Amino acid sequence: MSIGLNQREGDVIVVAQSGPLAGEVVVPGAKNSVLKLMAAALLADGRYTLTNVPVIEDVVIMADLLRAVGLEITMSPAPAGETGQHLSIYNSGAITPVAPFELADRIRASVNLVGPLLGRFGTIDIALPGGDDFGGRPIDMHLRGLEAMGAEFETSSEGIVGRCARLVGAEVVFDFPSVGATENVLMAAVVADGVTTIRNAAREPEIADLCNMLRKMGCRIDGIGTATLTITGVAPSSLQPVTHEVVTDRVQSATYIAAVGMCGGTIRVARANAQHMGMMLTRFTDMGMIFDIDDEGITATAPDRLISVDVSTLPYPGVATDYKPLVVAMLSMAHGVGIVTENLYPGRFRYVDELRALGANIEIDGHHAVVRGVEHLTGATVVAPDIRAGAALVVAGLAASGITEIGDVFHIDRGYDDIVGRLSALGASISRVRPES
Ligand code: EPU
């Protein structure tokens, strides 16, 4: 049963100039963690509970994909006092390792089925993963890592078919700390025969969250949070299902900080984990933001006007590429000129035309954006090109004079849990409008 998001593809988010913002927003769990935690439930039979699960479309799609291979998944609202929803996942052991094309094609995280299914069942048949279009998003490192452990793949324009006897522990060295490749090799290695060492592993907090859940299940993993993960494989039959709380979403947290930065005011971003956002908070501080940080969240205060800084995206602990559209939106109204360099996805500047429609002065030169801050943005009709860019347009629209209408909000729904309700609660003038049918 899905609680459903009650959305339609034609919905539009309408925002009017807002601010100063005030009050508290409670940030739920991270999309880029929960989707992988759901895939981890393929590894051992039994009933799992995930808590602090964001109410987002990608969770619905991932649940449908996992149901199609044999898991039973139910979603229920979280009890009072908690955020998000609960997911109950039952793995009866009756799994068919064939992922339907039409579901796998819709989200990037579908690739996360490859490691656990190959590791446990020795076979996988899956479409090439979908997700946001930032240009080419190859999975060569995933496949090479699993090949080093004994898997064989046939790839075509349609998808991947993989086979193996029991995988064998290996030394896997990544050219680049890929999030997805690290997760896939990790989830295969926990049930492989022997020791796997992953060098140049990605260190994102969401990967540590996955490692922590796997460890609770009985997996043997050392080096959590570092660039070297050492995994000693165990028999799947020795693993236990668990209850696990999803780590807070650092990109949703940054979104509300960006909103107050652009609209002015002081807000409390409850549950935001400052330790997971170190470099981003440093750049925000350089831009003039003031933070009061404690164990339960971050209180963020905006300056009279943001100051321009240069920002480069990098793998964690660097400034994540997922923050970048927010940063470009903030710089578009800051004092001075900021250069934003994208080092992960060369194609991730597609939202710049939309910000220009609001009056932003941005030039693209290769993988750099030169953002000359203007004093005012003006409302316009724009379209969300992907999840994070859509959120950045919402935030920019709140700071623009007049009305901004953001279309294609289904992109935002993929990763944001009730952004409209949360920003409204902070005093923003924002609504979701459903066209007459
Ligand atoms: N890459 C390769 N070969 C590979 C794997 C990656 O060349 O085998 C390249 C990619 O093309 C890209 C770079 O390495 O240029 C980074 O890719 P990575 O594998 O680290 O990213 P991902 O696992 O595909 C996840 C998030 C993205 C986030 C990136 C980077 C999920 C479902 N997606 O993608 O999140 O941008 O890590 O942090 O976890 C989003 O949430 O909006 C989003 C796009």
Q: Which of 58, 105, 132, 413 is catalytic?
A: 132
DSSP letter at 17 equals -
Alpha-carbon torsion, ordered 128, 129, 133, 137, to 10 deg: -70
Q: What is the pLDDT of residue 1?
A: 30
Nearest to 327 by CA among 286, 293, 298: 286
Atom of ligand 1 nearest to the CA of 58: 32
Helix (H) or strand (E) run with residue 279 in it: helix 278-286
Task: Enumerate residues lining ligand 1, CB below 6 A.
Answer: 31-32, 35, 108-109, 132, 137-142, 176, 178-181, 202, 320-322, 344-345, 387-388, 415
Distance from the CA of 301 to the center of ligand 1, in angstroms? 31
Do 91 and 46 form a contact (C-beta atoms < 8 A)? yes
User: What is the chain's length?
Assistant: 437
Amino acid type, 376: H
Active site residue 365: no
- Can you list the domains of the chain with their CATH numbers? 12-27+248-433 (3.65.10.10), 31-245 (3.65.10.10)
pLDDT, tens only, 59-93: 999 999 999 999 999 999 999 999 999 999 999 99
Q: Which tens digit of pLDDT belongs to each residue from 349-401?
A: 889 999 999 999 999 999 999 999 999 999 999 999 999 999 999 999 999 99
For the CA of 202, the nearest atom of ligand 1: 20
Distance (Å) from CA 137 to ligand 1 centroid = 7
Point out which residues pair with 102 in neighbouring strands.
none
Q: Which atom of ligand 1 is nearest to the CA of 107?
A: 32
Amino acid of residue 115: G
Residue from 62, 132, 176 whose mutation best tests the ligand 1 pocket (most atoms within 8 A of CB): 176
Q: What is the mean pLDDT of residues 397-412?
A: 97
Nearest CA to ligand 1 atom 37: 179
Tell me the whole-structure pTM to 2 decimals.
0.96
